[in-house]
């Protein structure tokens, strides 16, 4: 299993669609036991929150207790005042330089669409 994410700051490696997370967005992760949560902001995002679980190198931002309930675990408020939510599963890997990378597969709950993205630990 990759090292703990607790206290790490990560940023997307590429911009997503306008109005979504981008390279100016910063995620601050926390981890206790198998619980994961993060706050994020920057760019088009005023504030966002992630809540999920970790099983080995897999982060599930739709905990088993919420599956099938219509609950969400990723929500964000954008600069234009709108909100959105999505479900996300991420795989944790260690980069050759010692930083952490999360490869994400996600699906919107409040909008149409799905996709993949990646965030990496900010150096320094």
pLDDT given at position 71? 45
pLDDT given at position 74? 84
pLDDT given at position 2? 65
Structure tokens at 64: 């088993």
Q: Is residue 1 part of a domain?
A: no
> Distance from CA of residue 23 to its chain's centroid?
13
pLDDT given at position 19? 58
Q: Is residue 91 part of a domain?
A: yes
Structure tokens at 72: 């969400």
pLDDT given at position 70? 47
pLDDT tens digits for range 52-78:
889 999 998 865 555 554 444 788 999
pLDDT given at position 18? 59
Q: Name the band, by pLDDT with cuts 50, 70 and 90, for residue 3.
A: confident
**Contacts of 105 by beta carbon, 8 Å cutoff, 6+ apart:** 88, 89, 90, 114, 115, 116
Q: What is the CATH number of the domain that holds 61?
A: 2.40.128
Range of the domain at 36: 9-121
Q: Tell me whether strands 9-12 and 100-108 are parallel, antiparallel or unpaired.
A: unpaired
Q: Is residue 2 part of a domain?
A: no
Mean pLDDT to the nearest integer, 81-93: 91
Q: Is residue 78 part of a domain?
A: yes
Structural domains in the chain (count): 1
Q: Is residue 4 part of a domain?
A: no
Q: What is the pTM of this model?
A: 0.88
């Amino acid at each position: 299993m990759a090292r703990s994410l607790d206290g790490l700051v990560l940023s997307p490696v590429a911009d997503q669609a306008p109005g979504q997370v981008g390279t100016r967005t910063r995620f601050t992760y926390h981890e206790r036991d198998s619980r994961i949560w993060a706050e994020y902001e920057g760019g088009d995002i005023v504030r966002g929150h992630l809540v999920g679980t970790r099983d080995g190198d897999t982060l599930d931002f739709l905990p088993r207790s919420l599956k099938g309930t219509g609950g969400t675990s990723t929500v964000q408020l954008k600069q234009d005042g709108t909100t959105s939510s999505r479900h996300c599963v991420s795989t944790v890997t260690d980069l050759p330089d010692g930083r952490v990378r999360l490869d994400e597969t996600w699906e919107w709950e409040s909008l149409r669409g799905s996709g993949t993205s990646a965030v990496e630990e900010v150096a320094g």
